Amino acid sequence: MATQAATSISIQHDGEPKANAIRERLDAVVGKGQRTYTPSQVTVKSAKGSYLWTVDDRKLVDFTSGVLVANLGHDHPRFEELCREYADGLPRNAYNMVAEIEVIAAERLLKSMAATNPKAEKLFWAASGSEGIQKAMWAAQHKAPERQILLATRYGFHGKKGLAGDVTGAESLNPNVRFVSFPMKEEKPQSFYQDELDAFAEEFDGQIALLITEPYLGAAGSFHPPKWYHQMLQAWCEQHGVVLIFDEVQACHGRTGNMYAYESYEVQPDLVVLGKGIANGEPAAAVIGRADLIDAMGYGEASDTFSGNPRACAAICAVLDVFEEEGVIDKARAAARDIGERLCALPDAFPFVKTVRGEGLVYGIEIENAELANRCVLEAYYGTGDAGVHLLGPLAGTVLRVSPPLLISESEIAEAFAIIEQAWARI
Ligand SMILES: Cc1ncc(COP(=O)(O)O)c(C=O)c1O
């Protein structure tokens, strides 16, 4: 039986003596604001490939990849080997120094976009997605300081800090932020969105610095728009001299079935922000785009302690190597077809599954209500006893995120769905 820690009471599960003890100690020393509520509160001992092992020796299929981070899976041998090789002998921090690995990582990331986005000319590093978003927005603001207005697509999630927090959601304390509609459940014609944009262009003629959007709404519950939507945003931005920022913090590096989500939506943003899977778990992010925007910031204006450190850059190179050596995109597409078919069968099998939305290897399963959604996470975790499936706590209250490592195998997928089917039959 799980209990959500309202005060100091730890989440506890029957038959998990080691995990329960650790959870109690955690509550004594780490504020609960540090975690996003997940009823299972998996207490992990080790991780390998698509699997996690708990401290009480249960085996879980990881349907989260951390939080869309471990795209290559956990403890990937070649990735780990390459990280060691690239970082061998380098200091962990090279603030106000130059290590060649930084240059190599930048050149390789730019090259990874060269064929699909000619605007990928230069970059900034960041140590987290929200810092990357902040730097991308700063660049646009520095380029055109007379433009005060910041447009964002509504219900996006760009992070909790600074400007990233200001453009997240549907309301902002920043008086310069305005939101435009993003297609979700409602079926509105293209003209509805176009009219809204045009009204902003008229009201704030020459005052709009940037438009920031997620390729698909992630945290808001997995809403994946038609291609025309992003193409319309891009055309409108070009027409009005507005910088288009694509937040690919969670969508980059193969999640949507292409290396970059802007390829899936057939657009070429001015700035693309990458995070999470870019370094398979090493904290790293990057803002990539037009050189005139990146160069709008002078010495020190985008610097900080951890961005672009040698180990992050080594991990970025190692990820790109493994993508090439192991054909990760092709494997991800095959896994995506398999998972997509199995997920789409869930609404027929379970009455509490309302609908399934997604693309590539990022899906949302919408459950009837929040209570049942949490129960689904828990039952998947309890699984068949020794084995379970690890899911994130529900997004937007009722949506279960499915985002396994891109290299998950056919047999691992089959195993996970067999566990889920048995577990959810108890609901
Ligand atoms: C689309 C998107 N943008 C930005 C962020 C913020 O990234 P970070 O948590 O690394 O600051 C997230 C994190 O979940 C995200 O999903």
pLDDT in tens, 57-70: 999 999 999 999 99
d(CA 412, CA 427): 23
Domain 28-75+328-424 has CATH 3.30.200.20: no
Mean pLDDT of 324-330: 98
Tell me phi and psi for residue 22, to 5 degrees.
Answer: -65, -40
Per-residue pLDDT band at 5 (split at 50, 70, 90)? very low
Query: Whose alpha carbon is nearest atom 3 of ligand 1?
Result: 158
Instruction: Write the pLDDT tens digit of every residue in 387-420.
Output: 999 999 999 999 999 999 999 999 999 999 999 9
Residue among 276, 278, 287 whose CB has most ligand 1 atoms within 8 A, to mutate = 276
Helix orientation angle between 227-240 and 190-203, rounded to the nearest 10 degrees: 20
Query: What residues flank ligand 1, with Cβ below 6 Å?
Result: 128-130, 133, 157-159, 214, 218-219, 247, 249-250, 275
For residue 2, pLDDT beyond 50 = no
What's the 381 CA to ligand 1 centre distance in angstroms?
25
14 Cα to the center of ligand 1, angstroms: 33
* pLDDT tens figures, 243-285: 999 999 999 999 999 999 999 999 999 999 999 999 999 999 9
**Cα separation, 219 vs 129, whole angstroms:** 14
Q: What is the pLDDT of residue 76?
A: 98
Residue located nearest, by CA, to atom 8 of ligand 1? 129
Q: What is the pLDDT of residue 162?
A: 96
Residue 24 has pLDDT above 50, yes or no: yes
pLDDT at 10: 79
Least confident of 34-38, 46-50, 121-125, 350-354: 34-38
pLDDT, mean of residues 365-373: 98
Whether 20 shows a pLDDT value over 80: the answer reads: yes
Ligand 1 centroid, distance to 67 Cα (angstroms): 9
Q: How far is the CA of 159 from the centre of ligand 1 (A)?
A: 5
Q: What percent of the chain has pLDDT over 90?
A: 97
Write down the pTM of the prediction.
0.97
Distance 165 CA to ligand 1 centre (A): 10
Which residues in the chain are classed under CATH 3.90.1150.10? 28-75+328-424
Structure tokens at 36: 């996003």
Nearest to 216 by CA among 260, 251, 181, 254: 251
Mean pLDDT of the chain: 96
User: What architecture does CATH give domain 93-308?
Assistant: 3-Layer(aba) Sandwich (3.40)
Residue 4 pLDDT more than 50?
no
CATH 3.40.640.10 domain locations along the chain: 93-308
Cα 101 from Cα 314, distance rounded (Å):
6
**Which of 65, 71, 157 is the best mutation target for the ligand 1 pocket, counting ligand atoms within 8 Å of the beta carbon and taking the most?**
157
